[in-house]
Every structure is written in C-alpha cells, then in structure tokens.
Amino acid sequence: MGSYVLDFYCPAARLGIEVDGPDHLDREDRDEARSKWLEGQGIEVIRFWNHEVSGELEAVLQAILDRVEARLGKRQS
C-alpha cells in the first residue's frame, strides 16, 4: 500500500494485519505514522506481537475474524 508493505491484507474488509517483533519497540512513532497514513486510505491496521501469534493463535484469529465481520457489517457470532 503506497510505499508500505503489510504482513497480511484482506482487501474485501480493507484490513491490514501486522505481526510485530521486538524490533518494533523502538519504532512506535514510525509505526503510528504508517498506520495513520493507511487509515487515511481507508485501511484499518491491527497489530499483534509475535508471542501472541505463537502462543494464543486462536484468540488472534478470533480477533481478526471479529474485525473482518465488523468492517463488512456482519453480525458477529
């Protein structure tokens, strides 16, 4: 998207998913500016830490599904 690369992107929901590691701890300002630019393009960005994906995968997947459904205007189950 523009000059940015998203880890994952759902075009139907215009939802970007980022999986961040420890290198993002000192890049908060840059990540925030990036997210704001993407939001200006109508793309919502949600972020998860690596340890969440590896240790709580079901919860991460449910959070993604919830956001996709919300963005598509579907009732969440």
pLDDT, tens digit, 9 for 90 and up, residues 47-63? 999 999 999 999 999 99
Whole-prediction pTM value?
A: 0.79
Angstrom distances, CA of residue 4 to CA of 8, 52, 56:
12, 23, 27
Give me the chain's average pLDDT, please.
88
